[in-house]
Chain A
Amino acid sequence: MKLHEITITVNGTRESVSVPAGMTLLELLREKLYLTGPKEGCGAGECGACTVLLDGRPVTSCLVLAVEADGKDVRTIEGEATDGQLSALQRAFIDAGAIQCGFCTPGMVMSARALLERNPHPSDAEITEAISGNLCRCTGYESIIAAVRLAAERGEK
């Protein structure tokens, strides 16, 4: 099987790797770069657990080929904290009690991150719309919406 040499920037670090065409971006992140924050829930674009930012826009990384990400910028949940300090958005998720089992959280935070970057003061309806591609089986969503609202109030960009 032919391997493709690709270079991607992941959470600010340039990575050069060789990947087969059939490898997804999610598999590259988890199995080659050991960034196991993004999760595989469905593998088919439905659950959002694998959400990462590709050139700043949230995508389901289970439906992106690693080769397609060549030359692009990728951000994952691992890029949220700096120097061991949680981002204000992560802090808001904890303060609002928006995490139970945590399986959806890495994707949820990345969708919220992208929302706050394009719209620093979203309405509840806009928050709901932005996370509608992220399923959570535990929280009932209310606390997640409250977390994003809290992050916005605290001026998280």
Chain B
Amino acid sequence: MIGTFEYVRVGSIKEGCEILVAQDKRAVALAGGTDLLVNIRNTGRSPDLLVDFKQVEQMNDLVTDSDAGVKIGACVPLNVIADNRPINERHGALAQAARSIGSYQVRNRATLGGNIANASPAADTAPALLVLGASVNVEGKDGSREIPIDELFTGVKKTSLKQGEVITDIVLPSLGSQVRSAFIKKQRVRGHDLAIINMAACYSPDTGMLRVAIGSCAVTPILLPEVAVSMDEPIDELVKRLNVVAQDAISPIDDIRASAEYRRGLVPVLLHDLIRYVLSPGGGRR
């Protein structure tokens, strides 16, 4: 027995939200369970009720349309995202981030909604969603609303979701076919550990703007201010410029994975690899 909770499977978002609200803090949403069940097991503390949203049809939809962008149901498993062709082509950073998470077995259960709702500073999809300008559709007892991804994370394991609100889907805006994005991370053991540091970048040749986001280096993943890139600027100069901004924005800590100093030292190294990749013409796939 993993815990002493009760379980209910809901068929609609409305039904699930009503239960969450009625039960107040005693009930929590269950998606793939790869964070929630491990947490219950490790702490020995169970909520009274797990409300399983995985059978809600809308939360399993994945709609890709090059004009309207991409809509990913919160309960879509990470393997489905990692293997999705249009997402790999147009929103590469997210496909790469999804593919980097855990093992194949874990990714068959773990969902995108769960990864961001869990709000770990190390959540791998977060930097990707930040640079891609994603937004999150949520639903609760007061109806639905849209939260820009950079307003979702408010602290370690804390989000701006209200009590009883759930993420229904994640929306990626349509980006031009020239836009290139990528994800990179440093971890101790692939598939068996969270990131020491993770990072994503997105570059639009049309506007010349570059976005970078960094995870595992502060209480939330951090989106750096967008910078204009000129193709004449040597990569090393650009990395130096971005590193100054990044070092100012992050506040890494010493933990079991690495020291704060090591994390700071990794920033320019990862920046270099990532930026060279998104700026190189013909990129988009590793």
Contact = CB atoms under 8 A, between A and B. Distances in A.
Contacts of B102: 45, 133
B221 to A, nearest CB: 22
Interface string A14-34: 000000111110010000000
Contacts of B109: 59-60, 63-64
B256 to A, nearest CB: 15
Contact of A43 (B41, B52, B79): B41
B2 interface: yes
Interface residues on chain B, size class: 20 to 34
Contacts of B104: 58, 111, 114, 129-130, 132-133
Nearest to A2: B6
Given A20-B1, A44-B42, A58 B105 contact: yes
B106 interface: yes
A114 B42 CA distance: 29
A103 B122 CA distance: 32
A51 B3 CA distance: 21
A4 B9 CA distance: 11
Interface in B96-119: 102-106, 108-109
Nearest to B3: A22
A135 B34 CA distance: 18
Given A21-B7, A48-B105, A133-B104, A63 B37 contact: yes
16 contacts: A22-B2, A24-B2, A44-B42, A45-B34, A45-B38, A57-B79, A57-B108, A58-B105, A58-B108, A63-B38, A67-B7, A68-B33, A114-B104, A132-B103, A132-B191, A133-B102
Interface of B: 1-7, 9, 33-34, 37-38, 41-42, 46, 50, 52, 54, 79, 102-106, 108-109, 190-192
Interface of A: 1-2, 4, 20-24, 27, 43-46, 48, 51, 54, 57-60, 63-65, 67-68, 70, 111, 114, 129-130, 132-134
